[in-house]
A and B are shown apart, each in its own frame.
Chain A
Amino acid sequence: MYAGGDARANRVLDDELFRMVDAKNPLMAYIPASSYLSEIEFQHFVDQYRRFRVKRFLHFPVDVPFDRILFKEVLKADVIHLGGGNTFHFLLWLRKTKMLEALRDYVHHGGILTGLSAGAIMMTPDIETAAMPSFDRDENHDNIKNLDAMALVEFDFFPHYRNSPRYDAEFRKFTRKQKRSLYVCPDGAGIVIDGERKVFVGPTWLFQDGKKMAIN
């Protein structure tokens, strides 16, 4: 789960990722949060992972019609990466296209799923953290009511965190109401889950029952 930032900021997380990749000639699939200008994001994505000698890539936007051929290839990828963007829009289309279930199955069958920002939130039980903080939140243009996400982890995640009282006040309030743990990370930091193993990369804080704790 990547909190944000560019290739350089995420170097350590990427190293962790490639410790998990067994394939000699891995295939990486990129699913952007929106097709809007995603071809440019894809170029950045390829640049980022070409450095790790990855040679095979797929670009797979879900908010435009797609054919089954590419869809099947995506689910055979060694790594599927969910891009950042508007979390509500992304969830809407992942659900519409039945990709939520497909990705859940993919992970349960040993696939490696990574996500940045919105893509990382997608792995949590729901995407409520996308509506925080109130002063800089994703807009729910599509007016989605069902915020349930993949629930691959049992905690909430907040990306692009800035260690400031304004943010903290909202998270304290949120975790007083919401009983789950909330991990927050700034750009370049993130969480790696490999079976039972949970690794925190970079500065991470935990909010629980209105309290804040530094984890890493």
Chain B
Amino acid sequence: MGSTKKLDMQTDDNKKHYAPFAKINGEHPFKAQVPEGRVEYQARVKKGGRVVFFHFDLAKEMGLIPKDHPNELNPELEKQILDTFSIQIINEWDIENKVQVPADEMKPNTYMATRYLQLQHPDKTGRTSGDGRTIWNGQIRHQGVTWDVSSCGTGGTKLSPAVNINKRYYQTGDPTISYGCGCSETGEGLETLFFSEVFHKNRVKTERLLATVEYDKGLAINVRAYRNLIRPSHFFNHLKQGNLKTLKQVADYYIERQVLNGDWEDVREKSPSEKYNYMLNQVAKTFASTAARFEDEYIFCWLDWDGDNILMDGGVIDYGSIRQFGLFHSEYRYDDVQRFSTTILEQRQKAKYIVQCFAQITDFLVKKKKRPLADFKNHSSLKKFDEVFETSKYENLMYKIGFKEKYSADLMKAHLNHLRVFRRAFTWFESAKSQKGVYKVADGITRDAVFCMRDILRELPQLYLTRGSLLEPLEFIEIIRSSYATKNDLRMTPMLKKQIQRFQVSYLNLVDLVAKLENKERHQILLDITMRSSVINKYDRVTGDSITYVVQKVGKSRPRLKSEEIFNLVSEFAHYQTLNPDLRKKISEDSGEDFPVRQKNILRDMAGIVRECREGL
């Protein structure tokens, strides 16, 4: 009797704990504020799901579970997750075919799929495109931040490319059509999980995986969360269609969320001109610094004219085509059957194009008349973009060398010319490509980078500290050469010798300038750089390929891994891949020493994979 009572009390406590889940019920202000920006769907309970992953830390940050909730999936929590996220929309095919759903399986509210521009669609103005297999579950506000929550794999919508190319509706799960079937897979979720957590730890803005619910045959619903899931493409369709009313609604909705989340100044009550120009300025700065960061971190994110693969604040969304290269493989192009993607270097122009579109949007919103895009090719926002891009490139370079932020600012102010000389030498090595030329890889084409800048930046300060003199050219090459370099690539030409000399002299010159600015000795700065650079440029850093193999590894181990274990693994993996020297980590507490042997073995294998793939795509 007593134990039954205790159990009842526990269940009541749990219900209280998990009450915030009830707020995620399909309701979202975007529905009312931007009526032409979404399609609404009724939804039904999807049976047979099991929670294979739940992000306890993210759920705590979002206020879904209490801060002191153990990182364990109890039956009540699993039930809450399934009740909230295990749903399937009633799509157009279901309605056409009069699919009967028992009343008790119907969800009370509708769920929206949002409309946005997508280049895969035959209609290039975005009248038919948007979330093709995703719905927005809703939003939740906690500690001053509103989070959007969406789920991928909840059924095929009429906004998918397949529906519009083939001009017919599809049943959710129809095996004859892959992307248009409205389903997602567990592997996709895990890939997003591992990549996004590493990015998040390294301060790259990104959507994050909150939960994965798995069904038979590896199908899954992957639940993602972010502070604001609006993309440039959510604006671009209305711009292309000349739909001022809806464009204004999207802009006002977006601005309001940015303000409420504390990310932007409160410009809501300002004049339209001030308000929308503020937005334009933010977009210009964001896309410039993001494009520079992507280029410098070798992050390949297929930016294109539709503004689809990126969030408005430069956050990464949809990891399907995201990669991080180990070297500057700047000629890699993803082969998407009908077209090749942009390269890393072309991302800058695409980002700038997005800003140009926002200049056009701003003008349209203020003057209520749409002018051609070409009218904005010399707009001041594009100059701003170039300025911020350049500044970011220098800042990123100094960060990679290992200079503290305050040193960078001083150097930029007082010695830009010296920085420029080093940047030129750095870029010469970074951009050097193999004489082997362009060749096909599994998912595209590439041309190998010859030098590993991370290796030279890691070892150089140590060697200068030890020796106090420049390296011999052959020694320099021995360190900087990548595994892709052939004998021909490394032939010691007069030009190569000259560049080695220039690199080293200008590097030490910067060190000396910082020493002077800081009133320190050269060795003190070199030691600082040595320590910072050993973290920033650590030998093993994840690449797109390594994430794929890591996920395969987890996939193979997964039948035996519980949701909590995957959570522990990804937390430790992201910790190991945190290359931020300002986050001084405690080794003994966080290094996974207390892990069960099985998880330790998996982690060890993951580290081996990362090491193996460290120079690849």
Contact = CB atoms under 8 A, between A and B. Distances in A.
A36 B466 CA distance: 24
Contact of B576 (A36, A42, A50, A64): A36
Interface in A20-71: 27, 35-37, 39-44, 46, 50, 55-59, 61, 64, 67-70
Contact of A69 (B471, B527, B600, B604): B471
A56 B607 contact: no
Nearest to B614: A64
B539 A139 contact: no
B478 interface: yes
A39 B611 CA distance: 15
A67 to B, nearest CB: 5
Interface stretch (B40-48, B80-88, B409-417, B528-536): B528-536
A73 B465 CA distance: 11
B585 A57 contact: no
Interface residues of B, number: 32
Given A64-B611, A70-B459, A70-B462, A46 B531 contact: yes
Interface string A188-204: 00000000000000000
A19 interface: no
A203 B531 CA distance: 34
B584 interface: yes
A46 B466 CA distance: 14
A141 interface: yes
Interface in B461-476: 462-463, 465-467, 471, 475
A4 to B, nearest CB: 10
B178 interface: no
Interface string B572-589: 000010000100110100
Contacts of A35: 539-540, 611
Nearest to A64: B539
B466 A44 contact: no
Contacts of A69: 459, 463, 471, 475, 478-479
A40 B462 contact: no
Interface of B is mostly: helix
A64 to B, nearest CB: 5
B239 to A, nearest CB: 47
Contacts of A55: 465, 523-524, 527
Nearest to A139: B597
A172 to B, nearest CB: 28
Nearest to B538: A39
Interface string A73-106: 1001000000000000000000000000000000
A27 B466 contact: yes
Contacts of B463: 69-70, 73
Interface in B162-207: none
A56 B465 contact: yes
Nearest to B533: A39
Contacts of B540: 35, 64
A67 B475 CA distance: 9
B466 A73 contact: yes
B591 interface: yes
Given A36-B591, A40-B585, A59 B462 contact: yes
B601 interface: yes
Interface in B484-538: 523-524, 527, 530-531, 534-535, 538
A56 B468 CA distance: 10
A59 B523 contact: no
Nearest to B604: A141
Contact of B587 (A40, A68, A139): A40
Given A56-B523, A68-B478, A37 B466 contact: no
Contact of A67 (B465, B478, B535, B600): B478
Given A42-B534, A69-B471, A73-B466, A37 B585 contact: yes
B365 to A, nearest CB: 49
B587 A41 contact: yes
22 contacts: A27-B466, A37-B591, A39-B534, A40-B587, A43-B581, A43-B584, A44-B587, A46-B527, A46-B531, A50-B527, A56-B465, A56-B523, A57-B462, A64-B539, A64-B611, A69-B459, A69-B471, A70-B462, A73-B463, A73-B467, A76-B466, A141-B604
Interface of B: 459, 462-463, 465-467, 471, 475, 478-479, 523-524, 527, 530-531, 534-535, 538-540, 576, 581, 584-585, 587, 591, 597, 600-601, 604, 607, 611
Interface of A: 27, 35-37, 39-44, 46, 50, 55-59, 61, 64, 67-70, 73, 76, 139, 141
